[in-house]
Amino acid sequence: MRNKREKAQRRLFSQIAPPKENPWVMLLLGQIFTLGLSVVTFYSYKNRLLTQLYRFFDQNVVFTNKLGYPVGGIIHGGRQIEKLNTLLQGILWWMIIAVTVFIVYAVYYYRVYYQSHAVYLMKRVPDRFEMHRRCLTVPIILTVEAIIIAVILVLYCKYLYYRYTPEMYLPANGTINLWRLFTL
Amino acid sequence: MISFDTFRGTEGTPIYQQILLFIKRGAVAGTIRDGDELPSRRMLSALLGINPNTVQKAFRMLEDEGLITSQPGAGSNMTLTPQKLDALKEELLKDDIRSITSALRQMGIDREEALRLIEENWQESEEEPAGSGEGEEHE
Amino acid sequence: MIELFHVSKVYRDTVALANVDLKINPGEIIGLFGENGAGKTTLMKSIVGIVPYQGTILLDSDPITRKNIGRISFGTCEHSFFGDLTADEHAQFYREHFDTFDEKRYNGLMDFFELPRNRKLKRMSTGQQNQMEVILALSQGADYVFLDEPFAGNDIFNREDFYKVLLGILRPDETIMLSTHLIEEVSGFVGRAVLIHKGKIIGDCDVAALEENGESLTDYVKEIYGYQPDRVGKALADITGEKDI
């Protein structure tokens, strides 16, 4: 049985892509892609957020902490800050592009089997997940990574928003509508 | 080991009968002798490219006729007593004569003519070196 | 034993299999005959679980699932190997997936047919690719081996070698089903002939019994198919408009 387990382990780590495809290169490319998109997005939204926050502060009394974030001041007028939802609208647009690219990855992998009839062999190996593991592992890992990055991104923006807006200026309904984060 | 190298399939006759005939002719011609070992069923099936069932059938018929004896796991050997050989010779001879006779009759050749033809052919073949062995024995 | 009960398969508007009942016993060598599009390929693909179908197919009274699918193997002229892998890499793949993989048979067949072990399969000739497909199907260690037109493109010597080697290596309980157009060529090799026409089994016979009656397999096939020798003449008459040909 030890032999069998070793075999299964070897399979899991060596065969997460179709034959002769290098999963690690694909993973790396996908990660660079995801990170690039999300970092660019993050910077544009962080600035948007900060600009919003600045608009409500008196420029003269705002001071910043070590990280460059405003940590205090006086709010102009009696207006409230814009809803977080509005501020972050479209912050996850890049995910649509990223996931589309990952789906293309999967299609490309599946094509390897379907074009060559090797799918016949894959359909009759005792391991029913053999083909799907090889075709979906890389796209799924990348998607999960993208989701994690997205969650961090949104939570961090939310943190900034609530951390630096005095409570009295917060809008009544501050919940985040997920759908609006994806739409531009 | 009896060699089947010279075995040639012919159209129209069941293969198991051809195998039977091959063995019998070999025995009569003296190229297959008492005690000679036959290839295994699987080997013969592969050598001739024929279904194992067919080989199995030929072997069973040879056993039924008492020409071979098989021990499980030890292969099959020829059992040719002089009496059996004589009987075989007669059987084959009768078969051949029968087919020749019927062929001649089909062509509308009468008895006299047939005998004359045979006589003629006999003399011709005496002038040539005799022998058209059915199979040569290999070690 | 593999049993098919009322197996049907419809592709959009064509019936590929119509209510097929069939029993495949251990140790049989079966020839599956029929014209192009008769349903030979669909029948085999249904059994090996590549295409969905209606009806029931049982392997020793159990449905065929991933649990017992390893007992069945399949080789096809469409080639189900990976062009980018070498022969030995394929062997490794089979080894990892099928506990029954027969090393001895694989090595023996590779040597006998003098196939390159470290060349990508897509770089081999069609004949060699066919051989690889069959060798892998035979080396899986399955009890039932289905071969669909395995030798399309191989020369006659090569095919005959294969029949002979096959007969020499098969275990007594190992079953082969082979579809082919070359009825004459395999008539001695197969023990049973199954004829399929428009998705229906129209003939199923023991070849030895045929022989016994002095009938050749080819005659039987022509008879079952209702092959009319005067068909060509009729067609010509229709086409040319002449009444008496």
pLDDT per residue over B76-89, tens digit each? 889 988 898 999 99
User: Which CATH number is associated with domain B15-80?
Assistant: 1.10.10.10
Q: B134 vs A126, which has greater pLDDT?
A: A126
* Inter-chain residue contact B15 with C160, CB threshold 8 Å: no
Whole-number pLDDT of residue B135: 44
Note the pLDDT of residue C204: 94
Q: Does B53 touch chain C (CB under 8 A)?
A: yes
Cβ <8 Å between A124 and C48: yes
**Residue C138 to residue C91: CA distance in whole angstroms:** 11
Pick from C168, C21, C178, A73: which is nearest to B40 by CA?
C168
CA B68 from chain center: how many Å?
Answer: 14
Interface test with A, best of C81, C94, C98, C140 (most A CBs within 10 A): C81
Beta carbons of C190 and B51 less than 8 Å apart: yes
Instruction: Report helix, strand or coil for C32.
Output: strand
Which chain C residue has its CA at the smallest distance from B56's CA? Answer: C208
In the block, which residue shows the tokens 């004589």?
A: B86
| Mean pLDDT of chain B, nearest integer | 85
CA dihedral over C167, C172, C175, C177, signed as positive or negative:
positive
Among A46-60, A106-120, C11-25, C171-185, which stretch is predicted with the lowest mean pLDDT?
A46-60
The amino acid that residue C242 corresponds to is E
Angle at C83 between CA C149 and CA C68, to 5 degrees: 60
Q: Among A91-100, A113-122, A161-170, which is the least confidently predicted range?
A: A161-170
Is residue A1 scored above 60 in pLDDT?
Answer: no
Look up residue C78 and give its amino acid.
Answer: E
Nearest to C31 by CA among C170, C163, C195: C195
Of A63-72, C41-50, C125-134, least confident by mean pLDDT is A63-72
**Cβ contacts of C211 within 8 Å, gap of 6 or more:** B14, B15, B16, B54
Query: Is C216 in the B-facing interface, judged by CB distances under 8 Å?
Result: yes
Inter-chain CB proximity B12 and C191 less than 8 Å? no
For A118, which of C73, C82, C89 is closest by C-beta distance? C82
Residue B120's H or E segment, with its range, is: helix B111-127
Q: Contact at 8 Å (CB) between B117 and B111? A: no
Q: Is B127 left (phi over 0), alpha (psi -120 to 50) or beta?
A: alpha
What is the structure's pLDDT at A60?
A: 45
Q: Does C188 touch chain B (CB under 8 A)?
A: yes
In this prediction, what percent of chain A has a pLDDT beyond 70? 73
* Cα distance between residue C229 and residue B55, in whole Å: 34
Instruction: Check residue C188 and give its pLDDT.
Output: 86
Mutate to test the interface with C, among B8, B44, B45 (most CBs of C within 10 A): B45
Distance CA A75, CA A61 (A): 10
3-state secondary structure of C243: coil
Instruction: Give the C-alpha separation, A158 to A163, whole Å.
Output: 8
Residues of chain C in contact with residue B53, where contact means CB-CB under 8 angstroms, are 191, 208
CA distance A30 to A114: 24
- Report yes or no: C168 at the B interface, CB cutoff 8 Å: yes
Residues of chain A in contact with residue C45, where contact means CB-CB under 8 angstroms, are 120
Chain B positions touching C208 (Cβ under 8 A) are 14, 16, 51, 53-54, 57
Helices (H), C29-181: 40-47, 87-97, 103-112, 126-139, 156-169
Q: Give the mean model confidence (pLDDT) for residues C38-49.
A: 94
Best CA proximity match to A162, nearest among A150, A152, A175, A149: A175
Q: CA B97 to CA B48: how far, in whole Å?
A: 29
Say whether the ipTM exceeds 0.90.
no
Mutation test of the interface with chain A: which of C86, C96, C136, choosing the one with the most A Cβ atoms within 10 A? Answer: C96
- Kindly report which listed range (A25-34, C20-29, C222-231) carries the lowest average pLDDT score: C222-231
Burial of C116 (0-12, 13-18, 19+ CB in 10 A): middle
CB contact under 8 A, B51 and C208: yes
pLDDT-above-90 percentage for chain C? 67
Is C164 in the B-facing interface, judged by CB distances under 8 Å?
yes
Q: Using an 8 Å CB-CB cutoff, list chain A residues near C97.
A: 125-127, 130
User: Given CB atoms, is C156 within the 8 Å cutoff of chain B?
Assistant: no
pLDDT at C118: 94
Indicate contact of C with A: 3+ CB pairs under 8 A.
yes
- The answer to whether the CB of A51 falls within 8 A of the CB of A164 is no
Q: Give me A58's structure tokens.
A: 């008196």
**Interchain touch A–B (≥3 Cβ pairs closer than 8 Å):** no
What value, to the nearest 5°, has the Cα angle with vertex C159 and ends C157 and C160?
65
Q: State the DSSP code for B6.
A: T
- Which of C11, C22, C137, C130 minimizes the C-alpha distance to C71? C137
CATH 3.40.50.300 fits C2-240, yes or no: yes
- Cβ distance C188 to B48 less than 8 Å, yes or no, reads yes
What is the distance in angstroms between the CA of the first residue and the CA of the last residue of chain B?
6
- Beta C72-76 vs C144-148: how paired, if at all? parallel
Q: Which residue has the higher pLDDT, B7 or A36?
A: A36
Q: What is the mean pLDDT of residues C211-217?
A: 82
Number of A to C CB contacts under 8 A, please give it: 58
Cite the beta strand spans of C154-210 per DSSP E: 175-179, 192-197, 200-206
Percent of chain A with pLDDT over 90: 32
**Given an 8 Å threshold on Cβ–Cβ distance, is C211 in contact with B14?**
yes
Residue A78 has pLDDT above 60, yes or no: no
Cβ(A93)–Cβ(A41) under 8 Å? Answer: yes
In our burial notation (b when 16+ CB lie closer than 10 A, e otherwise), range C140-178 reads bbbbbbbbbbbbeebeeeebebbbbbbbbbbeeebbbbb
Enclosing H/E stretch for A54: helix A23-56
Question: Residue type for A129, please?
Answer: F
**pLDDT for the residue C101:** 95
Average confidence (pLDDT) over C227-244 = 74
Q: Does C22 touch chain B (CB under 8 A)?
A: no
